[in-house]
Amino acid sequence: MTGIKYKVVVITGASSGIGAATASYLGQKGAKLVLGARNLDRLKKVAVEIESSGAEVVFSEMDVRHRADHMKLVDLGLKSFGRIDVFINNAGVGPISLLDELRVDDWDEMIDVNLKGTLYGIAAALPVFRKQEFGHFVNIISTAGLKAIPTMAVYGATKNAVRTVTEGLRQEAGPKLRVTGISPGFVNTNFANSMTDGKIREQISSRMNQIGISPDAIARAIAFAIEQPDDVDVGEIVIRPTAQD
């Protein structure tokens, strides 16, 4: 199926930021949406706004740290629409800090959400895609996985790991599945809210306000990958502010 209209798209972390912007944009393009996030109230608000524009939307509270929640979200999509065309692993956190601070709980959180959460999404959707003989994974990575930056050692490591998994999946996918990695730079979202170091949170928030691009820009990049013909696989897109190093 070429294009976006009528495609069934699953999005994790859909209650805000890139996830919400992508859901809204794809809904405007005629996609059928299956949305998941931890914040149910905010997720419901996003779903209602998208439905008001005429798009079909179902949603479920879910935590990407739990494999069963991914299975529940995929099952919701199948029961609601009969298939899944695209699975977007979007949910992510970034409680960055200097390694010397030994914020081990934050390290665990990034590994569990950013890396294991992506793997659980793949585990939930891949068998469905194989059975259907079509499907498209879109994994949201980060420019932090391209360049080592102080305070982002663990965050960048999780994103670099997702990049490796994404490329490995692409090579294993065969001729009927598609796999895309999207690496955003500074984007104006609430991403800094996950940061437990107050000083770094203020620095990142300030930098986002100065140079951050709209999450709509990332949504358009995702849409570009999805709307290509079935025999065209967009492997990776890096999208950052022109002012970002």
pLDDT at 241: 95
Q: pLDDT by residue (tens digit) across 140-196?
A: 999 998 989 999 999 999 999 999 999 999 999 999 999 999 999 999 988 878 888
Alpha helix ranges (H) inside the chain? 17-28, 40-52, 67-81, 104-110, 117-132, 153-173, 198-211, 215-226
Alpha-carbon distance of 133 to 126, in angstroms, equals 10
Which candidate, 133, 134, 89, places its Cα nearest to that of 113? Answer: 89
| 120 annotated active-site | no
Q: Residue 83 corresponds to which tokens in the numbers above? A: 């298939």
Q: pLDDT by residue (tens digit) across 54-75?
A: 999 999 999 999 999 999 999 9
SS3 221: helix
Least confident of 14-18, 70-74, 131-135, 204-208: 204-208
**Are 95 and 197 in contact, with CB atoms under 8 Å apart?**
yes
Distance of CA 17 to CAs 64, 101, 235, Å? 16, 28, 23
Q: Residue 48 corresponds to which tokens in the numbers above? A: 């209602």
Alpha-carbon distance of 93 to 13, in angstroms, equals 10
Mean pLDDT of the chain: 95
Residue ranges of domains in the chain: 8-233
Alpha-carbon distance of 107 to 125, in angstroms, equals 26
The domain defined by 8-233 carries CATH number 3.30.70.100: no
Helix 117-132 to helix 153-173 angle, to the nearest 10 degrees?
10
Q: What percent of the chain has pLDDT over 90?
A: 87
Among 6, 25, 120, 155, the one annotated catalytic: 155
Is 94 a residue whose pLDDT tops 70?
Answer: yes
